[in-house]
């Protein structure tokens, strides 16, 4: 069968229950499609997609773990397993994982990763990292994740909702994590100290 230009047909055995109909075409459900894409992409692209899927609650570490068990020895499962190991650290990206390591090395405690924050209108966001007592949100920014005008606008509105709900948002880039880690940790300590939520033992 010939494919339209730019479209690559992927064939894999799937149970009939995992197929739905869309405009008379057999398609896999959103969750299954997301997992299939993660298994087909290179590591960098899979990481970016995983962060996107996780932030929008399309997939979760639990769903990913079930998929790894289900797809044992199948093509693409190695990538899913790598993502599961990353998710086990509480991070949705390599940058978040690096931030977690820096915080632990500095002895900063009392934070949680990938936390849902809600207001009276519902879910505001799944933030990268939160110090709950200080209501300090730390967001790890990547170029791909925040690309595009619509995404830019959505991010600003999301940040405004967090501020209205009483949360302070502190943004971190990959350059901060790699080129100025000592200064970054000092800034986070200062923020926590000003908010009165830094453990004196730290």
Q: What is the pLDDT of residues 150-185, one digit of tens each?
A: 777 888 888 999 999 999 999 999 899 999 999 999
pLDDT digits over 9-30, tens only?
Answer: 555 555 444 566 777 777 778 8
Predicted pLDDT at 101: 92
Residue with tokens 């397993």: 81
Domain formed by 94-194, architecture: 3-Layer(aba) Sandwich (3.40)
Check pLDDT > 70 for residue 122. Answer: yes
Position 6 scores a pLDDT of 60
CB 177 within 8 A of CB 102: yes
* DSSP string for residues in 13-76: ---GGG-EEETTEEE--HHHHHHHHHHHS-HHHHHHHHHHHHHTTSS-HHHHHHHHHHTTTSTT
Domain layout of the chain by residue ranges: 16-88, 94-194
Residue 10 confidence (pLDDT): 57
What confidence tier does 197 reach under pLDDT thresholds 50, 70, 90?
low
Query: Tokens 């009939």 map to which residue?
Result: 16
- Residue 20 phi/psi, 5-degree rounding, is -120, 170
Sequence-ordered list of residues with C-beta below 8 angstroms from that of 112, at least 6 positions apart, any chain: 90, 129, 130, 132
> Do residues 153 and 112 lie in contact, with contact meaning Cβ atoms separated by under 8 Å?
no
The whole-chain average pLDDT of the chain stands at 82
The pLDDT of residue 56 is above 90: no
What percent of the chain is predicted at pLDDT more than 90?
Answer: 30
When pLDDT is averaged across residues 65-78 and rounded to a whole number, the result is 85
Terminal CA-CA length for the chain: 64
Q: In the predicted model, is pLDDT for residue 139 greater than 70?
A: yes
């Amino acid at each position: 069968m010939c494919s339209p230009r730019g479209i690559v047909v992927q064939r894999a055995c799937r149970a009939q229950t995992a197929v739905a109909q869309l405009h008379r075409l057999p398609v896999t459900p959103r969750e299954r499609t997301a997992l299939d894409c993660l298994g087909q992409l290179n590591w960098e692209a899979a990481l970016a997609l995983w962060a996107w899927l996780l932030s929008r609650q399309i997939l979760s570490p639990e769903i990913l773990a079930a998929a790894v068990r289900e797809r044992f020895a199948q093509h693409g499962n190695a990538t899913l397993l790598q993502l599961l190991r990353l998710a086990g650290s509480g991070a949705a990206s390599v940058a978040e994982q690096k931030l977690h390591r820096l915080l632990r090395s500095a002895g900063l405690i009392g934070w949680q990763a990938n936390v849902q924050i809600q207001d009276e209108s519902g879910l505001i966001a799944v933030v990268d990292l939160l110090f709950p007592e200080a209501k300090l949100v730390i967001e790890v920014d990547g170029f791909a994740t925040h690309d595009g005008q619509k995404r830019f606008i959505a991010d600003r509105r999301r940040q405004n909702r967090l501020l209205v709900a009483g949360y302070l948002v502190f943004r971190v880039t990959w350059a901060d994590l790699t080129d100025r880690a000592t200064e970054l940790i000092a800034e986070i300590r200062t923020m926590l100290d000003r908010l009165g939520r830094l453990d004196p033992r730290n």
